Amino acid sequence: MAMSATLAINELTAAQLGEGRVLVPLGFGEAGLPVHPDLVAALAAGASTGSYGPVAGIAPLRATAAGWWTRRGLPTDAAQVVAGPGTKPLLYTLLHSCDGAIAVPRPSWVSYAAQAQLLRREVHHVPTLPGQGGVPDPERLEAAATAARRAGRPLAAVVVTLPDNPTGTLAGADTVRALCAVARRHDLTVVSDEIYRDLVHDPALPFLSPAEVAPERTVVTTGLSKNLAVGGWRIGVARLPEGPLGAELHARVVALASEIWSSPGNPVQQAAAWALSEPAVLRERIRDSRRLHASVAAAVADRFAAAGADLARPTAAFYVYPDLSRHRAVLEERWGIRTSADLARVLFAQMDVATLPGSAFGDVADRLTVRAATSLLYGDDPQRLAALGSPDPTALPWIATHLTRLSSALHRLLPGEGTTGA
């Protein structure tokens, strides 16, 4: 298996920038913000703790995680919570604990299908509805589950992402309810990755977790890597369902964890426990980061739309997912582009724009999509702090320069195909 596409583009981009190349860095989905100093202090306060903790996580972390979910309409007991060194290993152990084939959205985050393949699980890519990324189209999931059962290889679980990476959109309540109905009919475990929940651009936008609709079969995962920009700390938490399935999953996940990571880093758990209690200073930081992500993602979406791309406007996180398929003939004639991988390669090699192809996210290879992650446009730490406090971050010189370079690159790629402006 090759290195994860997201990590590979991050290392490649960093190496090229280190050699002095000027790039528009839209490849890696890191939150792109400095760690809040009070969170640093919380980590330092726990640094003298060198002991192992419980496999499922320290009691204060599980308690504050339970409170975090309870405040979001999901009453949770600390006994339902398992902590791990990031949501990625938690997701792996959860998929390991589901005996059967796995359904994932098309497109979806690169690691869902990769982890299922590592586990030798059959993967079913189920397309999403327009503008509702992260949740498989319930009708198509119904058809896939029915066909899999008839073939004697039934689905065991479906993975959803709310809000979504790679599209930056949030599936609506009706879609979530319909998916949960399919899950009940086919006895599927729903694994809901809600790592971006705090980064919905408009906090008033309705958010429905599958755990509210099908609590007996839904696992929810989250962490601090996106809302508080501490991906390198590697800490995540999973909320297991109540009842028999929750008890079974808890036993399996903890058993696997005991042999893989023993327990998450104790000082990081202590800092995470404080963060999930949601002190005012961190609520303010998340509010500011949400506003920054919304502004810059919208500006990047404007540049792609002006160049003639089709896309759903981002409503969460820091992702844009443009589709240039309607320019297929022009792109093939001018640049030899036939696939999304070709498109990302030309953007990187000839336009100095780092993106990832839609095919990395399970999209159909000849659909000319790329994922643009906008959060590394914010600059270095002093610039990032300025962007957090700016009423118009896209007007800041370093961000404006990136946006201008992106517009110029897209104009070179498709001269005369889009519109003037943005």
pLDDT for 82-134, tens place per residue? 999 999 999 999 999 999 999 999 999 999 999 999 999 999 999 999 999 99
Adjacent-strand bridge partners of 310: 323
Q: Copy the structure tokens of residue 405.
A: 């370079």
Phi-psi region of 319 (alpha: psi -120 to 50; beta: other; left: phi over 0): beta
Q: Copy the structure tokens of residue 263.
A: 């327990």
Strands in 81-84's sheet, in edge-to-edge order, are 81-84, 236-239, 218-223, 189-193, 155-161, 101-106, 123-129, 132-136
Give the type of residue at 58: I
All structural domains of the chain with their residue ranges? 5-30+281-413, 49-278
The model carries a pTM of 0.95
Helix-strand-coil split of the chain, %, nearest 5: 50, 15, 35
Cα distance between residue 162 and residue 25, in whole Å: 24
User: In this structure, what are the phi and psi dihedrals at residue 215, rounded to the nearest 5 degrees?
Assistant: -65, -25
Greatest distance between any 2 Cα atoms in the chain: 63
- Which DSSP string do the residues of 345-381 spell out, in sequence order? HHHHHHH-EE-EEGGGGT--TTS-BEEEE-GGGG-SH
Cβ neighbours of residue 397 closer than 8 Å, sequence gap 6 or more: none
Bridge-based pairing state of the strands 189-193 and 353-354: unpaired
| Cis-peptide into 163, omega within 30 deg | yes
**DSSP H or E stretch at residue 25:** strand 24-25
The pLDDT value given to residue 202: 97
Burial class (CB in 10 A: 0-12, 13-18, 19+), 288: middle
**DSSP H or E stretch at residue 330:** helix 328-335
The pLDDT value given to residue 420: 39
Q: Which fold has domain 49-278?
A: Aspartate Aminotransferase; domain 2 (3.40.640)
Q: What architecture (CATH level 2) is domain 5-30+281-413?
A: Alpha-Beta Complex (3.90)
Cα distance between residue 279 and residue 285, in whole Å: 10
Bridge-based pairing state of the strands 218-223 and 24-25: unpaired
Location of structure tokens 């003939």: 329
Burial class (CB in 10 A: 0-12, 13-18, 19+), 172: middle
5-30+281-413 and 49-278 have identical folds = no
Location of structure tokens 């990187």: 348
Instruction: Count Cα atoms within 13 angstroms, Cβ side, for 391.
Output: 0
What parts of the chain have a pLDDT lower than 50?
420-422
The pLDDT value given to residue 422: 38
Location of structure tokens 């370093």: 398
List Cα–Cα distances, 371 to 25, 267, 361, 392, in angstroms. Answer: 12, 34, 9, 24
Cα distance between residue 61 and residue 40, in whole Å: 17
